[in-house]
Structure 1
Amino acid sequence: MFTLPETNFHFGGDEYIYAEISSDMRVESNFKALAVTAELRKRNIPGIIDIASSNASYLVRYNPDMISARDLLDYLREIDLTKSDPKELNLSVRMVEIPVWYDDPITREYSRRFKNRHESPELTNFEYVMRYNGFHDKEAFIEKHSSTPYLITMVGFLPGTAWHFPLGVEKSDMIQAPKYASPRTQTPARSIGIGGAFNVIYPVNGSGSYQLIGMSAVPVTDIENLLPQVDSHFLARPGDIWKYRPIDESEYKQIRADVEAETFTYRIKQIELSPLEYVEKGNDYIRELTGDF
């Protein structure tokens, strides 16, 4: 029977235990990190201060005056073992649509502004990612990128930044790109970047090194609680699936106006994600799951 990777545990000073499920990014490892950390929160073990899941690992901060490192490690090993069986990993997550204006003038301008930090200064970031992945037709590239669902594997770095990894695509067929040779000092909020196989939507203006390919029409942070569907300040939740939908300039401006008027409604679908079916069916399961969205 297939089991998920065995976890290696490491002590981090007197307050942290770091659990490494795998040394490289694997979707199955992320499923396990999500399931273990969800179970830890559910148990509400006294002495645990914070729990954070990552791409293929998780971190637990604890109060050593309330629980010993060895006792906590016993808890973690017991929970981690039960979550090594794919049958035990049923995840209730959301599928969220992100309307995006690809190859827009904003990200083209940032490509020009910071071209001296790029290994191919004669190209926009969009053109660079296209060529790097063997595309010569703009629409074919957009179709490939937008038809791929992306798993939110981690939230962090800047508050609200959601690192998302392609689902239902063989590794050799993933859209990927190296980062800037030297990071930009400015990146526009809501711009979509690619670094390695990961995608991000920058939540606010700031530095960045991922290749910019378009602009999300919708915010991924909602600090002022203007959008009722976002029940926290941040749109992303680890384990959610994001799907991009290509839009043109006219629709981009209309959605931006709706957001400003507080009338925009995200397209969101609640789904039950079965890692067991993913293990058994692979990419066919992801296509079944996202086919009507």
Structure 2
Amino acid sequence: MVRNRASIYPIGDKAITVKFGDEISPEINGRVIAFAQYLSKQVVDGIIESVPTYTDVTIYYNPLILSYEEIKRRIQGWLNQKMTYQIENQRLIYLPVLYGGEYGPDLDYVANYHGIDREEVIRVHTSIDYRVYMLGFAPGFPYLGGLPEILHTPRLEKPRVQIPAGSVGIAGKQTGVYPLSTPGGWQIIGHTPVPLFEKKEESNPILLRAGDLIRFVSIDLIQYEQIEEQIRKGIYQVQIERIERMSGYEN
């Protein structure tokens, strides 16, 4: 149990933000996600959606149905309750990655920048589980926390016009995966054949969600092509482990 401290303030006339802290940390982000999950179970006419970020939850509402004063009063009531519940179904997702070469054109730069070899970059990058703090920038783009300091690398001086979907990159203190082909300035060190965004999956097109853990797994070209073929045939299964974690608030 942790004591719930949060500030509430308006974002224009159709949204309100609940802020749980100022630093990026698993504890604060866990409270964000847990509150967002609690909020999703509340049936309130006028609430459109809620969006969790690193430290905040922003709630969008219809001001013709729900006034700012009313939504703020409800939020204060929720925050003042003693609540204990699970961060439900936290998942550990294994993402296979082919590092270097045409699939990771900036791997050598990252290695040279830190004075280590390519193999050490790969070893370090695959050595920990990364937390999905939030999704943004493009549909399904995961902002991951926990990149070891030895791999902190500046963005490209000149962003690329197009980065292929599935590209795994590093930018500053973060690592991430491009779900769509978009412009970008991250250092690309590898590529996963596993799609993070599939438009044809209308009910659930995004693979990842805030609170997930990601573990990158280094693969070779033969394995990469085998996975690609399995995906084309519709028989590939993403490896996912489910982890139960507890989180809660105490007023």
Indicate which of 124, 128, 131 corresponds to 1:144.
124
Q: Give the deviation of 1:231 after TM superposition.
A: 6.3
Distance in 2 between residues matched to 1:175 and 1:231, nearest whole Å: 36
2:54·2:134 contact (CA, 8 Å) conserved in 1? yes
> For residue 236 of structure 1, what is the aligned residue in structure 2?
208
Q: Distance in 2 between matches of 1:236 and 1:56?
A: 18
Q: State the AA in 1 paired with 2:110.
A: V
Q: Aligned to 2:215, what secondary structure does the other structure show?
A: strand
State the alpha-carbon separation in 2 of the partners of residues 195 and 223 from structure 1.
Answer: 27
Q: Is 1:183 aligned with 2:159?
A: yes
Residue aligning to 1:115: none
Indicate the residue corresponding to 1:127 in structure 2. 108
Q: Relative to total residues, which structure has the larger helix share, 1 or 2?
A: 1
Could you report, residue by residue, the CA deviation over 1:206-234 in whole angstroms, capped at 9, with x for unpaired residues?
Answer: 10111111001211112223xxxx96111
Q: How many residues align?
A: 248
What is residue 205 of structure 1 aligned with on the other side?
A: 181
Alignment-mate amino acid for residue 57 of structure 1: D
DSSP 3-state at the match of 2:175:
strand
How much has 1:89 moved relative to structure 2? 5.3
CA distance in structure 1 between the partners assigned to 2:103 and 2:221 by the alignment: 11
d(CA) in 2 for partners of 1:131, 1:231: 43
Match of 1:107 among 104, 108, 131: 104
Match of 1:21 in 2: 20
Q: Calculate the aligned-residue CA RMSD, in Å.
A: 2.3
Instruction: Please give the per-residue CA displacement for 1:97-151, whole angstroms capped at 9, x wherever unaligned.
Output: 100011131332xxxxxxxxxxxxxxxx22232344x351322221111121011
Q: Given the alignment of the two structures, is residue 272 of structure 1 paired with residue 248 of structure 2, yes or no?
A: no
Write out aligned runs for 1:249-288 (5 A): 249-275=221-247
Return closer, same or farther for 1:135/1:264 CA change in 2, 3 Å cut-off.
farther
Are 2:117 and 1:165 equivalent residues in the alignment?
Answer: no
Q: Corresponding residue for 1:38?
A: 37
Cross-structure match for 1:114: none
Is the 1:97–1:268 Cα contact (8 Å) retained in structure 2?
Answer: yes
Q: How far 1:82 moved relative to its partner?
A: 4.8
Relative to 1, partners in 2 of residues 1:82 and 1:165: Cα closer, same or farther, differing over 3 Å? farther
The residue matched to 1:147 in structure 2 has which SS?
coil
> Counterparts of 1:25 and 1:205 in 2: how far apart (Å)?
27
Paired residue type of 1:51? S
Separation of aligned partners in 1, 2:135 and 2:204: 13
Q: Assess if the C-alpha contact under 8 Å between 2:91 and 2:242 holds in 1.
A: yes
For 2:167 and 2:97, locate their aligned partners in 1 and report how far apart those are by CA, in whole Å.
9
Structure 2 CA distance for partners of 1:2 and 1:42, relative to 1, 3 Å: closer
Q: TM-score, normalized by length of structure 1?
A: 0.77
Partner of 2:95: 98
Unaligned runs of at least 5 residues, structure 1: 109-124, 277-293
Give the aligned residue type for 1:256: E
Q: Does 2:197 match 1:221?
A: yes
Instruction: State the 4+ residue runs in structure 1 displaced beyond 4 angstroms.
Output: none
Q: Which runs of 5+ in 2 are unaligned?
A: none
Instruction: Give the TM-score of the pair, scaled to structure 2.
Output: 0.89
- For residue 70 of structure 1, report the CA deviation from its aligned partner: 1.6
Q: What are the Cα deviations for residues 180-201 of structure 1, in whole angstroms up to 9, with x where unaligned?
A: 2232211111001112222221
Cα distance between partner residues in 2 of 1:99 and 1:148: 14
2: distance between equivalents of 1:222 and 1:76?
34
Question: Quick one: percent identity of the two aligned structures?
Answer: 27
Instruction: Identify if the C-alpha distance between structure 1 residues 145 and 274 changes in structure 2 by more than 3 Å, giving closer, same or farther.
Output: farther
Counterparts of 1:153 and 1:238, CA distance in 2: 5
Whole-angstrom distance in 2 between the partners of 1:253 and 1:218: 11
* Contact 1:176/1:195 (<8 A) preserved: yes
